[in-house]
Structure formats: C-alpha cells, structure tokens
Structure 1
Amino acid sequence: MVTIDLTTPPARPTSLLDGIARRLALTLPELRLVAELAGGAPLPFDVVPDADEAVRADSLSGRLGEDRGTAEDSAYVEALRTLHDPHETLRRRGLLTDDGADPGVVGAVGLLATPRLALDIDVAAGSAQVKAWHRQSGGAVASLSTCDGIVFELAWFPVDQWTAELARVTAPPEDLPLGASQVPEVLDVPYALADAVGEAMRSGRSDLVPVLVGQSGGTVVADGAALGDAEAAAVVSALHAEGQGRLRILAAEVSERATTSVGVVSWVLLKDGWHSLTPRHDDGARVAVLRVDPADLPTELAPVLAQVTVREEP
C-alpha cells in the first residue's frame, strides 16, 4: 500500500521538470474528446455525451454547484456553441496526431477515471467559485479544475508535489481585501449555538443573538479563555457576518475492496483569512474554529486521508 505523507515538504527536485506540474488548458469539447480517446474514460462530473447542449449545460452546471437562471444558462450554451471543433484545435496545438492524442494528456485523463484516492474540492471566495477534482494512484496525481464549466485546467504531477498543488487551491484572490477580524485565532463554540446564531442573522434577526447566547447551555471559549455573554455574542456573530468565502473538500478512497467512507475538510474565509471548522464530540457537540494559512491545508487533510484509507490485512 502507498503511504502518502502530506505533512512533510516534498524532496528537492533533481531537475527543473521534476519540480513542475504539467498544466494544460482544455475547453469542455476538447476535454470530452480526449476522454473518448482515452478509452471512453468517464470525467469526474456529469456530462451526457449524446444529449443536446442545453442538457449538457444543465448537467455540468449542477455538478459545479451553481443555480443558473435562464439567461445565464442560455449564455453558457451559446458560449459552448461558439467553440471551434476540438479535433482542429487539438491538432493545431500539437496535442492530437494521426496516432492519437498526446500520451501525457491521455494518461492524466485516464488517471482521473481510475484513482485510488479522490478529492472533490469546492472553493468560493468573493465572487469567484472554483471546482477541482484531484485523483491519486500510486506515485501520480491528476487534477482538473474550472471556474466556468467551459475552460478547464488539466494538470498531472508526481505525488510528492501534491502538497504544493493543494496550497494553490486555497490562495485567496488578490483583489479580495483582508484585514483584521473580530474572530480570535482559536475559538470553540457549541454547535447548536453557532447554528442558531447563523439562522438568526440570515433571517435579519440579529437582535436575537444575545438571547440565544444567554439560553445556550455551553460556553464559548476564545484562545483558551471562557467568554462572557456579551463577548460571546459579538464573536459568534462575527463568525457569520465576516464570511467572504468557503472551502470544502470531500475525500474518499476509490477501490473495489473499499467500503466507501468520506472525510470532510471545511474552511471559512473571514476578514483576516482562512479559519478551519472542525467538529468535536469529546465535550458535547461543538465546533473548533482555528486560524489557518493556505500552506496548512495538507496538514489538515492528512488525517482525513488516513481516516478514509482502507488498510490491507497483513
């Protein structure tokens, strides 16, 4: 069995190419053509190959997690129709010859369809939303990502470069301002209270927050110290009010011998950057909120991968 250590920095590459992930931009038609040439490899999102463009758009947009209106849906379909024939564009780029598609591209798409470990990544920051799919098997990883469902980035790289690729996922947009936050670096909140305060604020009833805090049976702890009701109300309110984005990763082992087990990593983007959300059950149902940096994602993800990985019997 391959053990993946995401907490240790990758070894120094022996050559320039060893340290660089191969990246390629592909339109949806090009991606679908490469998948066909890779033996009909299924893509990690739902696209019906023989349906009309409208059906394909509905299917893909649903997988991307967006609720498109009629106008946006029509614009999406029209954008797909304006794309050039994928056979011509791939040939012009040297990715398709009479002998078939580029072996590296075909191999990457094939790996997307036959992984051992699978990560489905959903990141929203400001007005941008990105979906990414990372697939690993043996010593290789392939990733596919898109922000519009039309143009995709396909990448493939050695497994020891996975740490750096994961850090790319969480980099906040440069035009998104970050500053000071009212949420402390380490916060521990009863889950029921956090949920109730969020619902009250979404309903425009922030006046209920002090009441909810006062009626809560649990203590809000910030940086190791219990907070009074007024401080707790301000901090838990800020946790919801400051939200500028979110990240969710679903991790699973894909194997015939594996019983499907899904692990989850959840982060929220506040005024000062990312904070991880981790449920706790050792002292009732609580959620730990911890200030993190993009480079911390591999460390947060490593125990989740260990949790979902099936151990082979000796």
Structure 2
Amino acid sequence: MVTIDLTTPPPVPASFLDGLARRLALTLPELRVVAELAGGAPLPFDLHPGEATDAGSLSGRLGQSRGSAEDSAYADALGTLHDPHDTLRRRGLLTDEGADPGVLGAVGLLATPRLALDIDVAAGATQVKAWHRQAGDAVASLSTCDGIVFELAWFPVTQWTTELARVTAVPEDLPLTSSQVPARLDVPYALADSVGEALRSGRSDLVPVLVGHADGAVLADGDELGDAEAAAAVSAVHAEGRGRLRILAAEVSERATTAVGVVSWVLLKDGWHSLTPRHDDGARVSVVRVDPDALATELAPVLAQVLVREEPTDE
C-alpha cells in the first residue's frame, strides 16, 4: 500500500519536465467522448442541464425562472461547441488508433481511485469545483469553473502537495487587508451559529445578548475575551466572509466501509482561516489563520483517518 505523506515537501525533480503536471483543457463534449473511449469510464460529476423552455410548457407560459434561464443559457453554450470528435482529432488527441493513452489513463484513474477528494472553492465571484483521484503512485484531477471547459491533469503522487497549493490561490481582485478576527479564535459552536443567524436576519442588536448568555467563553490566542471584544470577533467571522473552501475526502476501497473526512476554510479580509470543530470541551469551533500553502498539511491528518489499512488475514 502506498503511504501518502502530504507534510513532506516533494523531492527535487530530476528534470524540468518531471516537476510539471500534464494539463489539458477539454470541453464537456470532448471529455465525454474520451470517457466513452476509456471503456465508458464514469466521470466524477453528474451534469444534466435543463431543457430549453418551449412555448407550450408551464415555464414558457409563465416566464422563465432564474434557474430555468441559467439552464437554458448553459445548454445554448454547449450547443455552440464544435463536434468533439473533430476537435479532438485536430488537436492530435484522437487518431484512428484511439485517444491519447495519457488522457485515457487519467480519465480511467478518475473512475477507479483508492482515494477521492471533492473540492469546492469560492472566492469573490469565482467558484471552482475540482475532483482529485489517487491510486498507487498516480493522481488525476479534473476542475472547472463553468461546467463547460474542464482542466484535466495527471501527475505522480509526490507532486500532489504542489497541486493542492493551487487550490488556495486568492484572486488578484481580492486584495488582503487587516481583520478583526484574531489569529486563533475559539468559540462555542452554538454561539457562532446563533450569531451568524442573527446577522443574516438583520438583527445585529441581538449579538451582545447572545454573547452574554453563551455557554462557554470566547478565547483569542488562548485568552478569554470580554463580551464586547467577543461580540466583535465572532461577528467578524461572518461579516468578513469573502470565500470558502470545502474538501470531502473519502476512501473508496470496495473492501471497506467508506469513511469521509472534511476540511473547511473560510476566506476573511486577511486571508484563509481554518474551521475545525472540537468536542473535548463541549461543542466548540476553532477559527485559525492559516498559510495558503498549508492545505496539504491540514489535509494530511484527515487522510490518515480516512484511509483504511488492510488487516492481516490468517493463512
């Protein structure tokens, strides 16, 4: 069994090309063609765009909803794309002998992994979904921000740390400033949840009351905060939100019950903060400022819990 160590920097590549992942942009129709040529390999997502509105349908009589309009626009965008077999041939990715072996292997790995990461990142107006799949010494990833064009990449597992660092890059149109949230904030979960609900409802006047009646102290860098400071810090966690990151990790071995681990970050004014639930002192959540490049380090213990080790069998 391959041991996945995301906390150790990757080894120095023997050549420039060894240090690079292979990347390829594919439209959704092209991706589906490749998946079919890879033995009908299932893709790690399920897209069913809504059908265009017609005059005889209920939505046609009453007008399009936002959802139906977006589905129609999505279907129209796909309809403008050229025939995927022709475009793959023009790009040299498809010949009479079949599709490029590297592309077929990457799509095949997406369908038959040992470990799966589903990644959802939103920062400002940008949202990206990505799927990382690992088996043995190889990793394949697929990502998209619009469901039309996808980036397919494949690389050795030793380069996974570098690839994960791309996930947390903050867009240039979101400059970092200072934050009212301490570097390490520890809050009762019920208080963090209720303050968020009060702010979403436009009842910021309730925040001091909620803090005063909280079951547990609010800690900043290990020190207890007063009610006013606590109200400002917990409110800032919600008010400063500019993005989020969520990773679901799962071991997909057929021999074991699937286990799922979660990594959650929130993007505040000064950058990324991890959100970690704790139950050693009641239900609490830690909000800790993290380096963007530390995602692999944060993910490593989650993977250790998710991966199911083989149990020795009696001969």
State the TM-score, normalized to the length of structure 1.
0.94
**1:16 maps onto 2:16 in alignment:** yes
**1:269 maps onto 2:271 in alignment:** no
- Is the 8 Å Cα contact of residues 121 and 129 (structure 2) preserved in structure 1? yes
Which ranges of structure 1 fall in alignment gaps of 5 or more residues?
A: 57-66
CA distance in 1 between partners of 2:128 and 2:273 (Å): 18
- Is the 8 Å Cα contact of residues 182 and 220 (structure 2) preserved in structure 1? yes
CA distance in 2 between partners of 1:104 and 1:74 (Å): 34
What is the deviation of 1:116? 0.1
The structure-2 alpha-carbon separation of the partners of 1:289 and 1:217, relative to structure 1 and needing over 3 Å to count, comes to: same
Deviations 1:228-254 (A, max 9, x none): 101000000001000000000000001
Three-state SS of the structure 1 residue aligned to 2:245 is strand
**1:83 maps onto 2:84 in alignment:** no
Deviations 1:205-224 (A, max 9, x none): 00000000000011000011
What's 1:62 paired with? Answer: none
Look up the equivalent residue of 1:229 and give its one-letter code: D
Three-state SS of the structure 1 residue aligned to 2:50 is helix
Deviations 1:54-110 (A, max 9, x none): 369xxxxxxxxxx96222221111000000000000000000000000000000000
What's 2:148 paired with? Answer: 150
Look up the equivalent residue of 1:30 and give its one-letter code: E
Choose the corresponding residue for 1:118, options 116, 119, 139: 116
Three-state SS of the structure 2 residue aligned to 1:54 is coil
Worse-superposed segment, 67-76 or 207-216? 67-76
CA distance in 2 between partners of 1:254 and 1:86 (Å): 31
CA distance in 2 between partners of 1:275 and 1:21 (Å): 28
Alignment of 1:45-64 (within 5 A): 45-47=45-47, 54=50
Which ranges of structure 2 fall in alignment gaps of 5 or more residues?
A: 53-64
CA distance in 1 between partners of 2:120 and 2:262 (Å): 11
Choose the corresponding residue for 2:284, options 283, 286, 289: 286
CA distance in 1 between partners of 2:256 and 2:126 (Å): 35
**1:132 maps onto 2:130 in alignment:** yes
CA distance in 2 between partners of 1:187 and 1:28 (Å): 42
CA distance in 1 between partners of 2:256 and 2:135 (Å): 14
What's 1:203 paired with? Answer: 201
CA distance in 1 between partners of 2:50 and 2:275 (Å): 37
**1:41 maps onto 2:41 in alignment:** yes
Look up the equivalent residue of 2:90 and give its one-letter code: R
What is the deviation of 1:47? 3.9
Three-state SS of the structure 2 residue aligned to 1:69 is helix
Choose the corresponding residue for 1:257, options 255, 262, 266: 255
Choose the corresponding residue for 2:176, options 175, 178, 185: 178
The structure-2 alpha-carbon separation of the partners of 1:262 and 1:161, relative to structure 1 and needing over 3 Å to count, comes to: same
- Is the 8 Å Cα contact of residues 38 and 104 (structure 2) preserved in structure 1? yes
Choose the corresponding residue for 1:301, options 299, 302, 306: 299
Look up the equivalent residue of 2:50 and give its one-letter code: A
State the TM-score, normalized to the length of structure 2.
0.93
Q: How many residues align?
A: 300
**1:74 maps onto 2:72 in alignment:** yes
What is the deviation of 1:182? 0.3
CA distance in 2 between partners of 1:28 and 1:102 (Å): 17
Cα root mean square deviation, aligned: 1.3
